């Protein structure tokens, strides 16, 4: 009897703990669920071919379509650009020109259009910040001049692909245990609300 009562109490405690966990602020997603640093559908890229007879080189601009693939002059195959890093895509295109015996020594460069993170709300200079792979939430906010005196630093919102992530930026700035200064990604919208006090 005592054993079954203890099991029921333990089950209720686990259930209450699980329910309580649902009301906490969202933590930044795990690294595996964050976007890669590769190119994405909708990105604009410039592909430059040099190192070939002067009248055969080119500079073409593309916007990566929904299919994620692009085609290039003189090549019959397509290239999957979405998810690729610019250097890797350039290597694939170079290899294709060589293996198809179109050019012996082509030089292909893939240049992605600059991408941005938008920061608004209670920062000193709301703006778009140029994305770099090491850009974090706090460095993006600092690039806007930092928080205003009315900013709610404990409930900073990152909107990414329709998901809202709430970060305690004050704790992250102090280096508090468990606090995270998350990496931000192109297209993220960061909003700093105003404190009610």
Q: How far apart are the first and last CA of the chain?
A: 53
**Length of the chain measured in residues:** 197
Angle at CA 133, nearest 5°, toward 128 and 134?
90
Pick from 58, 67, 114, 106: which is nearest to 86 by CA? 114
For 114-197, which CATH class?
alpha beta
What residues contact residue 54 under an 8 Å CB cut-off, 6+ apart?
A: none
* pLDDT tens-digit readout, 50-69: 999 878 889 999 999 999 99
**Nearest to 62, CA basis, from 79, 43, 75, 80:** 43
**78-80 and 156-160 strand pairing:** unpaired
Task: Check whether 26 has a pLDDT greater than 90.
Answer: no
Q: Which of 3.30.1950, 1.10.357, 3.30.40, 1.10.150 is the CATH number of 44-112?
A: 3.30.1950
- Shared fold status for 44-112 and 114-197: no
Q: What average pLDDT is seen over the chain?
A: 84
Per-residue pLDDT tens over the stretch 126-156 = 999 999 889 999 999 999 999 999 999 999 9
Q: What's 136's DSSP letter?
A: B
What's the rounded Cα separation, in Å, for the pair 190 and 28? 13
Q: Kindly list the domain boundaries of the chain, sorted by start residue.
A: 44-112, 114-197
Higher-pLDDT residue of 20 and 2 is 2
Q: How far apart are CA 147 and CA 173, in angstroms?
A: 12
Would you call 19 helix, strand, or coil by DSSP? helix
Please give the C-alpha separations between residue 117 and each of 110, 141, 143, in angstroms, as whole numbers.
22, 10, 11
Distance CA 52, CA 68 (A): 27
Between residues 76 and 31, the one the model is more confident about: 76
Q: What is the pLDDT of residue 3?
A: 45
Give the residue from 154, 164, 155, 152 showing the smallest Cα distance to 188.
Answer: 164
Residue-by-residue DSSP string for 78-103: EEE-TT--HHHHHHHHHHHHHHTTS-
Structure tokens, 160: 């990414």
């Amino acid at each position: 009897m005592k054993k079954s009562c203890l099991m029921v109490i333990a089950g209720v405690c686990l259930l209450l703990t699980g329910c309580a966990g649902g009301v906490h602020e969202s933590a930044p997603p795990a690294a595996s669920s964050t976007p890669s640093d590769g190119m994405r559908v909708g990105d604009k890229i410039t592909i430059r071919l040099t190192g070939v007879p002067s009248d055969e080189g080119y500079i073409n601009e593309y916007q990566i379509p929904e299919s994620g693939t692009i085609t290039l002059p003189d090549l019959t195959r397509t290239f999957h650009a979405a998810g690729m890093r610019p250097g890797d895509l350039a290597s694939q295109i170079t290899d294709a020109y060589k293996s198809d015996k179109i050019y012996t020594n082509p030089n292909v460069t893939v240049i992605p259009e600059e991408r941005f993170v938008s920061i608004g709300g209670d920062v000193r200079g709301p703006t778009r910040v140029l994305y770099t792979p090491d850009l974090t939430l706090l460095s993006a906010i600092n690039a806007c001049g930092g928080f205003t005196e009315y900013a709610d630093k404990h409930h900073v919102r990152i909107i990414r692909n329709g998901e809202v992530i709430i970060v305690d930026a004050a704790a992250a700035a102090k280096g508090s245990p468990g606090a995270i200064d998350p990496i931000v990604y192109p297209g993220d919208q960061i909003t700093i609300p105003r404190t009610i006090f």
